[in-house]
Amino acid sequence: MNTKINKSILFRHLGLISYAQAFEFQSEVFNTIVSTKITNRDLDPQLQVATSNYLIICEHPHVFTLGRSGKQANLLLNSLKLQEISAEFHQSNRGGDITYHGPGQMIAYPILDLDNFFTDIHQYMRFLEEIVIQTLANFGIIAGRIKGLTGVWLDYEHQHNPRKICAFGVKTSRWVTMHGLALNINTDLDYFNHIIPCGISDKSVTSIEKEIGKKINVNEVEEIFLQKFEEIFQATIEI
């Protein structure tokens, strides 16, 4: 384990970028951090190099992605229909099932060396959920968790009409994370009709726009999200 703890997080905003390009960028950063950790393992503590942490935010053009544990049957379209709605499909090495990404959705990809924070993947997921929950509270939206299900949900207590507003899917190796979360802001929710979101057929999806009845500036959501990320992880985000 590296004895040099680094709680600074480098922020990168990639704008509207294809899923494949964002994955390539993520992978390069992820592999560099893992490589540093492997090299540090054989060095004297005084010679070890602090590992970096990154937080990437972006949007994707219409795309459906399937996680390692997902079923392709949850994609309700063939390749021809995908072309008709200008969408792509990608297999992913993240956890989870199928989900949709598109314009008006905030994608956050934290690439963190958890040795700089804590080595507990369950705590990591709860922290990400809490950041989203507190971000949504700024817009008057009360959200929370449903036991046994990933994501951040509305009507999570009584569940008369439970609906997911944020999906999660991550990968970790040597305590380095990649992939992350997708928060629906002004998202075209019709695209979710083409899948069984996260393999869950009896619950719906929603967005900030749908819940409060008006479009929200995505930058405003991102600003609050970054603030909450710093607070929850007790880190410094370098913009």
Q: What is the pLDDT along the chain (239 residues), one digit of tens a residue?
A: 556 899 999 999 999 999 999 999 999 999 999 999 999 999 998 999 999 999 999 999 999 999 988 888 999 998 899 999 999 999 999 988 899 999 999 999 999 999 999 999 999 999 999 999 999 999 999 999 999 998 999 999 999 999 999 999 999 999 999 999 999 999 999 999 999 876 766 689 999 999 999 999 999 999 999 999 999 999 999 98
pLDDT of residue 2: 56
Q: Decide if 83 contacts 148 (C-beta within 8 A).
A: no
pLDDT of residue 1: 54
pLDDT of residue 49: 94
Q: Which of 198, 218, 221, 226 is catalytic?
A: 198
- Which letter does DSSP use for residue 69 in this model? T
Q: How far, in Å, CA of 213 to CA of 105, rounded?
A: 16
The two structure tokens encoding residue 40? 């540090």
pLDDT of residue 3: 63
Torsion 123-124-128-129 (CA) sign? negative
User: Is there a catalytic annotation at residue 166?
Assistant: no
What is the CB-side half-sphere exposure of residue 39 using CA atoms within 13 A?
Answer: 11
CATH code linked to domain 8-238: 3.30.930.10
Q: Decide if 29 contacts 110 (C-beta within 8 A).
A: no
CA distances for 127 relative to 79, 100, 110, 168, 196, angstroms: 37, 22, 12, 12, 26
Domain ranges of the chain: 8-238
